[in-house]
């Protein structure tokens, strides 16, 4: 956790990873963050990290091993060119921006830039993230290992060689936490419709999703077996699952449409 890190953008995703890394012992002194003035000051005050508002604020003798872009995909074209002077063999450019391709980074930073396109998710803040990465060929094994070590401290890591799969990854695990939070909202709403007071319905929905997640994590059984363990033949769960698992209008069909919409949006964000 002694990686020299330059983090560009520290909003919801950047701070989720940063909180996870600091909790795991990343030395604040090894981190520079480029952010807007107010955010940079807050980061300095709360974490003792070097916050700057511009690449020009980074000392010449700070040679980052990783430059992590965590700004919105839409602002990257205005931001990226300022980092071209930092291209060096010992520096990996790691991007978490949805949709932004390796070709986009190479076209701005040049062919010598070592680039890893990554897709994390916000549970990284509690070290339960899922990150998928895709490297350029010039990224050394040691640099792949360094990126993997960094992201593995805040969750699980997986790699893909085929970059086009990053759109599906983004749609599944990148956006996925939002689907689960919406599931909590939908269950609470349905509980209210079934007659429960709003705050009690939310308590039950939250704890059921949290408990199911913990059980899934602790158990060696598949999700299908854990589902079957709840389902008594002819009982209440079977009645609900008849609705949720309906071939035409059930959750699998709805989820397929939702994930396809997210995947298509990821493709669009490339341009």
**Binding site membership: which residues?**
70-73
Measured from each CB, the residue nearest to ligand NAI is 11
Q: Does 98 participate in binding ligand A1CAB (rule CB under 6 A)?
A: yes
The verdict on 174 binding ligand A1CAB (CB under 6 A) reads yes
Binding flag, residue 170, ligand A1CAB (CB under 6 A) = yes
37 binds, among ligand NAI, ligand A1CAB, none (CB under 5 to 8 A by kind): none
Instruction: Return the H-helix or E-strand segment holding 135.
Output: strand 129-135
Residue stretches of the annotated binding site for NADP(+)? 70-73
Q: Is 9 in the site for ligand A1CAB (CB under 6 A)?
A: no
- Phi, psi at residue 233, to the nearest 5°? -55, 130
Minimum CB separation from ligand A1CAB for residue 175, in Å? 4
C-beta separation of 93 from 118 below 8 A: no
CA distance 206 to 144: 37
**Cβ(174)–Cβ(98) below 8 Å:** yes
Phi and psi at residue 133, to the nearest 5°: -130, 155
Q: Looking at 48-56, 156-164, 168-176, 247-255, which segment touches ligand A1CAB (CB under 6 A)?
A: 168-176
CA gap 134, 234 in Å, rounded: 47
173 binds ligand A1CAB (CB under 6 A): no
Q: How far apart are CA 169 and CA 68, in angstroms?
A: 19
Nearest to ligand A1CAB of 98, 134 (CB atom)? 98
Work out how close the CB of 142 gets to ligand NAI at its nearest, in angstroms, rounded to a whole number: 25
CB of 81 vs ligand NAI, minimal distance in Å: 11
Structure tokens, 189: 């709403």
Residues that bind ligand NAI (CB under 6 A): 8-14, 34-36, 39, 70-73, 75, 79, 96-98, 119-122, 174
DSSP string computed for 25-57: T--GGGEEEE--HHHHHHHHHHH--EEESSGGG
Measured CA to CA, the distance from residue 159 to residue 77 in angstroms comes to: 26
Binding test (CB under 6 A) with ligand A1CAB, winner from 15, 131, 143, 175: 175
205 binds, among ligand A1CAB, ligand NAI, none (CB under 5 to 8 A by kind): none
Q: Is the dihedral of CA 95, 100, 102, 108 positive or negative?
A: negative
Residues in contact with ligand A1CAB by the rule CB under 6 A: 98, 170, 174-175
């Amino acid at each position: 956790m002694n990686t020299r890190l330059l983090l560009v953008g520290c909003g919801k995703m950047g701070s989720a990873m940063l909180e996870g890394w600091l909790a795991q012992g990343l030395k604040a002194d090894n981190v520079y963050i480029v952010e807007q003035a107010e955010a940079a000051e807050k980061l300095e005050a709360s974490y003792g990290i070097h916050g700057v508002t511009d690449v020009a604020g980074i000392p010449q003798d700070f040679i980052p091993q990783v430059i992590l872009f965590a700004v919105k995909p839409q602002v990257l074209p205005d931001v990226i060119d300022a980092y071209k002077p930092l291209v060096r063999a010992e520096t990996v450019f790691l991007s978490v921006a949805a949709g932004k391709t390796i070709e986009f980074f190479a076209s701005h930073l040049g062919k010598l830039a070592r680039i890893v396109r990554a897709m994390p998710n916000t549970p990284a803040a509690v070290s339960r993230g899922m990150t998928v990465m895709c490297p350029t060929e010039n990224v050394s094994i040691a640099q792949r290992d360094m990126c993997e070590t960094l992201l593995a401290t805040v969750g699980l890591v997986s790699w893909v060689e085929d970059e086009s799969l990053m759109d599906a990854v983004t749609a599944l695990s990148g956006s996925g936490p939002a689907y689960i939070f919406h599931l909590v909202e939908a269950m609470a709403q349905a509980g209210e419709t079934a007659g429960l007071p709003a705050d009690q319905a939310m308590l039950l929905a939250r704890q059921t999703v949290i408990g199911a997640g913990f059980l899934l994590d602790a158990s060696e059984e598949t999700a299908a077996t854990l589902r079957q363990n709840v389902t008594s033949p002819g009982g209440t769960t079977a009645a609900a699952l008849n609705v949720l698992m309906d071939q035409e209008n059930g959750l699998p069909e709805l989820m397929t449409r939702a994930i396809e919409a997210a995947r298509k949006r990821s493709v669009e964000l490339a341009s």
